[in-house]
Structure 1
């Protein structure tokens, strides 16, 4: 199945807010091992805090009137960002995870119509950056081709397609649990990295 971004993004934008939130939550799950890996290797950050925020989001998706102060959660989240002066590859991917969860919180706190596209693009952008880092190809055209055909990018596109299809379907508690398992991907991130040593 070819991943045509036009149709894909249109379908994303056509989703109800709750379905968009479920889509983002699944993508966030798959970004968290990158953050965990960064926290493990540098001692910066606190992965439990990030998972705790995401837990509350899943709770809210399952129980509509769950009373959760998402403004408070957003404050906690800001404290979990990697230090601004750390420009390493790991820090950028960790920041991506925090920013994705943050965009998801924005939709729970009010209007954030672009958030779902931001999270989708951030996840793909991290994969692209990882491929560029590991392939070391200088030629932009060749690199673009490499990125498109790279197994990690194919995997990323297939994953986002699968999540989109799931959230377009019936979203009861069981479906949400299955979606979260899909996002957790057995602890392997969108970069194919696993934080659990």
Structure 2
């Protein structure tokens, strides 16, 4: 039940804004993992996302050295083999989504397959699906079917949030106010995409 949105209908700016807003919902998962495992610096990823929001502000545009940011990001990316907690997987998804977001900026709208934007959407959705599967197993479900996962409130919320965000940005003006509205929309519940409270 992967989310399929027609990203080709969005401008490059709208795609970057979409990916940034999706990442806002994922970022707390990295923070929680980082604090519990003593690995990585959440501040680096938060700063990178803030840079992208600044890049989206056409009134005061900034340049981003994507290669330098990708190098910094690599140092914060956990190796799942090195940790025995579930939290490493959503944390890894955050890092991979951030990498795709930075590459999306670098592509400057030339990625006609829209792989980077699709990747961000998919990684957030996958984080939720995997977490929901574990929740269902925890609740005693022996054979978790895809339909059980897609019917779970967290999975429904993920789909609805991405669709609402997409529909908003499709007609949004490419300015700072649209960025603020998109961010407010995805953080309205005060929860990450996994339902973790944002501190």
The structure whose residues are more often helix, as a share, is 1
Aligned: 1:74 with 2:77: no
Worse-matched range after superposition: 74-83 or 24-33: 74-83
1:25 corresponds to which of 1, 20, 25: 20
- The two structures, once aligned, show a CA RMSD in angstroms of 2.0
Aligned: 1:152 with 2:154: yes
Deviation by residue 1:86-122 (Cα, 9 ceiling, x = unmatched): 2531001101011101100001122543011111111
Q: Give the distance between the partners of 1:154 and 1:68, measured in 2 at CA.
A: 35
Q: Give the distance between the partners of 1:94 and 1:58, measured in 2 at CA.
A: 21
Shift of 1:170: 2.1
Alignment length, in residue pairs?
Answer: 189
Q: Give the distance between the partners of 1:90 and 1:16, measured in 2 at CA.
A: 34
Q: Give the distance between the partners of 1:44 and 1:186, measured in 2 at CA.
A: 27
1:51 corresponds to which residue? 46
Worse-matched range after superposition: 58-67 or 152-161: 58-67
Q: Give the distance between the partners of 2:67 and 2:98, measured in 1 at CA.
A: 13
Shift of 1:184: 3.3
Give the TM-score taking structure 1 as reference length: 0.88
Give the conservation status (yes or no) of the 8 Å contact 1:33–1:187: no
Shift of 1:166: 1.6
Structure 2: segments with no counterpart, 5+ residues: none
Question: What secondary structure does 1:79 align onto?
Answer: helix
2:8 corresponds to which of 13, 22, 32: 13
Aligned: 1:138 with 2:133: no
Q: Give the distance between the partners of 2:84 and 2:118, measured in 1 at CA.
A: 24
Q: Give the distance between the partners of 1:44 and 1:35, measured in 2 at CA.
A: 10
Q: Give the distance between the partners of 1:43 and 1:97, measured in 2 at CA.
A: 17
Structure 1: segments with no counterpart, 5+ residues: none
Shift of 1:63: 2.6
Give the TM-score taking structure 2 as reference length: 0.87
